[in-house]
Amino acid sequence: DIVMTQSPLSLPVTLGQPASISCRSSQSLVHSDGNTYLNWLQQRPGQSPRRLIYKVSNRDSGVPDRFSGSGSGTDFTLKISRVEAEDVGVYYCMQGTHSQGTFGQGTKVEIK
């Protein structure tokens, strides 16, 4: 099984300040087709998850440009350039490269 390890698991942030979440996989996420199926999801309290970023760095339609994804191979990062109140929630990385999908444990973002 591919293990996805996120850090930190809890992230208190001041409004307007940046935030960064790391996600590391136990094996490379580069697929045989050349793509890297690493996604970032946001789950606000009481809601279904919502995808923010796909294939490492592609932002979904409607996602604010303060969200960005980067990385390669086994190390990936989600950055929020300036945290807003609506960003509170849990963020998950998820790999779809390997036949068994895997999620990270989740990082809870809260406002200080």
Partner 1 sequence: EVQLVESGGGLVQPGGSLRLSCAASGFTFSTYWMHWVRQTPGKGLVWVSRINSDESRTSYADSVKGRFTISRDNAKNTLYLQMNSLRAEDTAVYYCVRGLDPDYWGQGTLVTVSS
Q: Which residues contact partner 1 by CB under 8 A?
A: 1, 37, 39, 41, 43, 48-51, 54-55, 60, 90, 92, 94, 96, 99-106
**74 or 97: whose CB is closer to partner 1?**
97
* Shortest separation between residue 70's beta carbon and partner 1, angstroms: 17
**61 or 65: whose CB is closer to partner 1?**
61
What's the angle, vertex CA 96, arms to CA 53 and CA 22, rounded to 5?
A: 50
* Shortest separation between residue 15's beta carbon and partner 1, angstroms: 26
Length of the chain: 112
SS3 87: helix
**16 or 62: whose CB is closer to partner 1?**
62
Cβ partners under 8 Å of residue 99, min gap 6: none
Q: Give the separation between CA 93 and CA 24, rounded to whole angstroms.
A: 9
SS3 82: coil
* Shortest separation between residue 84's beta carbon and partner 1, angstroms: 22
